[in-house]
Structure 1
Amino acid sequence: MNRILDENLIYEILSVVEEIPQGKVATYGQIARLIGREKNARLVGKVLSMSEYYGRYPCHRVVNHAGRLVPGWTEQRQLLTSEGVPMKDEYHVALKLCQWDS
């Protein structure tokens, strides 16, 4: 993975995440498609797990393809609901209502 993961790719992913508007969410796969790496959704997740080392980014606005929140990140739900993101249940956003139209 180290051959794939370089600083330019990290900042390319983070710059897309930075564009997600407040009150909207994007999926890992959506971000991967936007950077031209449609099969690298897991790579996007890896980068976001390390984002704190690169600055402040709204990574809480990224969910999986089903709208599921990050397991173990209890603050994510609070951050999203404070922005007005509708929830489907305790662990999922209402993706059809709030997915970013990138």
Structure 2
Amino acid sequence: MKPETYTFFQNVHDVARLIPKGRVTNYGAIAKYLGAPRSSRMVGYAMNAAAGDDTIPAHRVVNRNGLLTGRMHFNTPHHMQELLEKEGIEIKGHQVIQLEKYFWDPMQELLR
């Protein structure tokens, strides 16, 4: 992994650690916060790499429509959903219900 990729992944993981329990954000919101708005896919790669790391709440990062697109990178395909439901987030058909209710925007929450 290139040093700049490693640093980007570390920055993504640092933001993910700030997502409160019971809230979710998306790949694009993290990319925008990090000043790389066209790097949503790289944020996804960083989250996939973190799926087995208990110190990074990768389960709280979904796609822009609230779909649990990273679920295949967890121990089981249902583990991501189970973690979110345990935090009180409603999921149906692998998608966060009422995404706007649970959405955490780092641009709003961290730049106050």
Q: TM-score, normalised by structure 1?
A: 0.86
In the alignment, structure 1 residue 92 sits paired with structure 2 residue 95 = yes
**1:76 is matched with which residue?**
80
Give yes or no for contact 1:86–1:98 (8 Å, CA) kept in 2.
no
**1:25 is matched with which residue?**
24
Runs of 4+ with >4 A deviation: 1-4, 52-55
The runs of 5 or more residues in structure 2 that have no matched partner are: 107-112
- 1:79 and 1:53 mapped to 2: Cα distance? 13
- 1:83 and 1:53 mapped to 2: Cα distance? 18
Aligned residue type for 1:77: Q
The runs of 5 or more residues in structure 1 that have no matched partner are: none
- 1:67 and 1:52 mapped to 2: Cα distance? 17
Give the number of aligned pairs.
100
Q: TM-score, normalised by structure 2?
A: 0.79
- 1:74 and 1:44 mapped to 2: Cα distance? 21
1:66 CA drift (Å): 0.4
**Deviations, residues 39-76 of structure 1 (Å, cap 9, x unaligned):** 00000001111125776200000000000012533201
Identity of aligned pairs, percent? 30
Alpha-carbon RMSD: 2.1
1:90 CA drift (Å): 2.3
